[in-house]
């Protein structure tokens, strides 16, 4: 273990996050065990990831495929890998069956590339469809009014399986200001679920990050994506 990892500080951070997850879940009448704490490991080195794993973080989210490829070969832990950043179609060829979940499916071309790659490696990629609930032009994602049509287009693809939805709320100091984003995504999931679309499930909602995950949990999040609150602020 490198000396750069302050394991005690990390232990305290993770404990604090877990307590907040528990409180937010109980406040909304939910079971805290139904909420996955996903460690966002963009630019985090393998030593820090191994320390986090040994402290109970079993799922890691990478923004870039290159980082997944590099780290997954050397981490020496049985972790689960998530791709959470915007995925370029030309990087899909590097993905393999170690990917537990792709959070950022946001266009047909990407769905086709994943389906094709899945056929080659005989793997069904579990995916979440990214929805741009806030309507910010800087954010990727399907527009809410186009979601059902998009799901119908990809539901026939045999090597991807839609497990739910993901969104990114606008950055704000006040998480109450973005509560509507999480509430609207949950409502979209409920509406889609009622449609009983073939090969489409709405069991996962990936929403909430270090600054707003408690609010997201209160509104139904099943996966919170936490980076800086575990690993500290990062300089990109």
Centre a 10 Å sphere on the Cβ of residue 111 and count the other Cβ atoms it contains: 22
Burial of 38 (0-12, 13-18, 19+ CB in 10 A): buried
Could you give the CA distance from residue 26 to residue 19 in angstroms, rounded to a whole number?
A: 11
> Domain spans of the chain?
7-231
- Give the dihedral of Cα atoms 226, 227, 230, 234; nearest 10 deg: -160
User: How much is the pLDDT for 236?
Assistant: 54
pLDDT(92) > 60:
yes
Burial of 226 (0-12, 13-18, 19+ CB in 10 A): buried
pLDDT digits (tens, 9 = 90+) for 163-218: 999 999 999 999 999 999 999 999 999 999 999 999 999 999 999 999 999 999 99
CATH classification code of 7-231: 3.20.20.10
Across all residues in the chain, what is the average pLDDT?
A: 96
pLDDT(1) > 50:
no
User: How much is the pLDDT for 235?
Assistant: 64
């Amino acid at each position: 273990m490198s000396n750069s990892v302050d394991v005690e500080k990390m232990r305290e951070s993770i404990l604090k996050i877990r307590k907040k997850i528990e409180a937010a879940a109980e406040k909304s009448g939910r079971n805290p065990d139904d909420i996955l704490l996903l460690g966002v490991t963009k630019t985090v080195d393998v030593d820090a990831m191994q320390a986090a794993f040994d402290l109970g973080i079993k799922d890691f989210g990478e923004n870039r495929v290159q980082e997944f490829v590099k780290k997954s070969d050397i981490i020496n832990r049985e972790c689960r890998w998530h791709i959470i950043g915007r995925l370029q179609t030309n990087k899909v060829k590097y993905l393999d069956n170690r990917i537990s979940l792709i959070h950022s499916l946001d266009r047909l071309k990407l769905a086709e590339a994943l389906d094709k790659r899945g056929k080659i490696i005989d793997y069904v990629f579990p995916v979440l469809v990214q929805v741009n609930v806030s309507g910010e032009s800087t954010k990727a994602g399907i527009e809410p009014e186009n979601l059902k049509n998009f799901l119908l287009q990809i539901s026939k693809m045999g090597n991807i399986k839609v497990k739910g939805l993901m969104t990114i709320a606008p950055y704000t100091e006040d998480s109450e200001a973005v509560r509507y984003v999480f509430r609207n995504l949950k409502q979209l999931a409920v509406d889609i679920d009622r449609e009983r679309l073939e090969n489409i499930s709405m069991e996962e909602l990936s929403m909430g990050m270090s600054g707003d995950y408690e609010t997201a949990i209160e509104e139904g999040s099943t996966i919170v994506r936490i980076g800086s609150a575990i690993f500290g602020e990062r300089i990109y």
